[in-house]
Amino acid sequence: MGKVVLVTGVARHLGARFVADIRRRPGIDLVVGVDVQPPRDPVAEPEGPAAGYRFEKLDLRRPAVARVIAEHQVDTVVHLNVSATGVGPAGRSAVKESNVIGTMQLLGACQKAPGLRRLVVKSTTGVYGSAPRDPAVFGERMQPKNLPSGGFAKDAAEVEGYVRGFARRRPDVAVTVLRFANIVGPVGDTPLCEYFTLPVLPTVLGHDPRLQFVHEDDVIEVLCRSAVEPLPGTSNAGTFNVAGEGVLLLSQCARRLGRPTVPMLQPVIGWVAGLVRQTRLADFSPEQLRLLTHGRVVDTTRLRETFGYQPRFTTAEAFGDFAAAQSAGLLPPERLTAVTDRLAGLLGPEGTTARHPAHPTHPTQELNPR
């Protein structure tokens, strides 16, 4: 009998994409999707042979998930319902309950499932926080200088704590925690993607943070590989940072989008962020503001050497795919690039090398045209 995979968070774009992909993988017999509402777009039937699919409408904060796991004899759980935003007009308190209380209920159900063999949890590199004294590159075993004090990052840190407790109680279950960098793609539905769709990008005066991105295609591939048996010589159990190679400065992102930046003092941009949230133009949260001030870069050596996967998209390529799907900015990207190249040439070799994103272990600075 093949695997039976339960997937949470299927109402979102990423969850629906994962369901469509995992159904085509060999050895999968049935996929059970769980969420508080059906996907906005019906899950497309894959071409050719595919595993069966069933959708169960339920709230993870309720104990009914244990019944679903037992009824379908689930042996693999992929928990994607840890998100910065809720489905529909959910407020912050409801999102936190869904992330934390929902995970606790799910883990309690998994604890009672004797047939469970694999648990995959979607997390975020946000658990490392963003602070002025952070190391240049975070590894999986490093602790943040300051623990996240609120928002999605704090939710993810709490979720990871409960998952570690589950792993100690059920050593027979292979547990994988995937800390994804900022996820981008043609369909960008994250708070950071919302920020980049603003016609003018407010930035913190005197700061040009380093950012990493991971393409949603690589996210789906890593999730699928986590849900099946590992390849020979690799292990898909453990905690892994997942990000595209290289870094981009915030100023580089703005130029690729053709959007002007408006540097502001930190107190002023905090007020602007609150205004943006109130008008619902974007979810400009305090933790996102810290990211856009101090940045964050993670090491992906374990992903390549232990997990056995090299992301197809670099950070620059992933963001480029996102930028290509956006409407044209106020300033033509080619004009911004031409001016930057000319100024960088005047600055000499240092300015020239800064035009190319560097590996995270060798961060560079780049001129930021205003």
**pTM given for the model:** 0.86
Segment 12-36, tens digit of pLDDT: 999 999 999 999 999 999 999 999 9
Q: Is the predicted pLDDT of residue 312 greater than 50, yes or no?
A: yes
Going from the C-alpha of 12 to that of each of 18, 53, 97, 142, the distances in angstroms are 10, 16, 17, 31
Segment 317-332, tens digit of pLDDT: 999 999 999 876 555 5
> How confident is the model at residue 101, as a pLDDT?
96
CA distance 239 to 123: 10
Percent of the chain with pLDDT over 90: 68
Segment 52-102, tens digit of pLDDT: 999 999 999 999 999 999 999 999 999 999 998 876 666 778 889 999 999
Q: In the numeric block, which tokens belong to residue 165?
A: 């407790």
Q: How many CA atoms lie within 13 A of 343 on its CB side?
A: 13
> How confident is the model at residue 282, as a pLDDT?
65
Q: Is the predicted pLDDT of residue 236 greater than 80, yes or no?
A: yes
Burial bucket for residue 286 (CB in 10 Å: 0-12, 13-18, 19+): middle
> How confident is the model at residue 327, as a pLDDT?
76
Q: If you average pLDDT over every residue of the chain, what do you get?
A: 86
Q: Output 47 or 116, whichever has higher pLDDT.
A: 116
CA distance 173 to 218: 25
